């Protein structure tokens, strides 16, 4: 058995060797589950960055609200460029709506990823513990 890394991913290759002892198999599974980085902390870092982005986005949302109010005032005055003003304002509001939807979608995916990484950590801990118990019996 061996672990090869390509494009940042871990790939498992089995050679059907019956010569592998249990210690080698344990080391192999450890290498597969833990690639030198704590993926859970990596996801937590991404969530923290995403929260910072969301805070910045909320500040921009206030500016867009002000822009909408200015647009409405200009349209109420029957401004000579009313069509362009309305078109631009609608475009900005639509883009902000799409960005907000994508932001929420990304947040949910990050939370799902965190749950999955926590699951993997728990699986490794259970496997490691059961391997120690099994080794102690022999």
- In this prediction, residue 130 has a pLDDT band, given cuts at 50, 70 and 90, of confident
Q: What percentage of the chain exceeds 70 in pLDDT?
A: 70
Measure the CA–CA gap between 5 and 42, rounded to whole angstroms: 18
pTM score of the predicted model: 0.61
**Cβ distance 47 to 114 under 8 Å?**
yes
What are the sequence ranges of the domains in the chain?
1-36, 38-125
Query: How does 16-37 read in b/e, with b if 16+ C-beta sit within 10 Å?
Result: eeeeeeeeeebebbebebeeee
- Rounded Cα–Cα distance for residues 28 and 9 (Å): 15
User: Could you tell me the pLDDT band of residue 19, with boundaries at 50, 70 and 90?
Assistant: very low
Share of the chain above pLDDT 90, in %: 56
Topology given in CATH for the domain delimited by 38-125: Methane Monooxygenase Hydroxylase; Chain G, domain 1 (1.20.58)
pLDDT tens digits, 107-127: 999 999 999 999 988 888 888
Q: Which residue from 52, 49, 9, 50 is spatially nearest to 32, judged by alpha carbons?
A: 9
pLDDT per position as a tens digit, 74-90: 999 999 999 999 999 99
């Amino acid at each position: 058995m061996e672990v090869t890394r390509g494009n940042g991913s871990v790939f498992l290759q089995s050679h059907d060797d019956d010569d592998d002892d249990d210690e080698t198999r344990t080391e192999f599974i450890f290498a597969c589950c833990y690639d030198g980085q704590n993926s859970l902390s990596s996801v937590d870092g991404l969530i923290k960055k995403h929260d910072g982005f969301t805070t910045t986005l909320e500040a921009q949302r206030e500016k867009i609200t002000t822009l909408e109010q200015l647009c409405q005032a200009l349209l109420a005055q029957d401004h000579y460029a009313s069509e362009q003003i309305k078109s631009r304002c609608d475009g900005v509001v639509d883009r902000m709506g799409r960005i907000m939807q994508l932001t929420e979608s990304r947040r949910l995916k990050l939370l799902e990823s965190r749950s999955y990484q926590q699951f993997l950590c728990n699986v490794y801990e259970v496997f490691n513990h059961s391997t120690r118990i099994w080794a102690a019996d022999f």
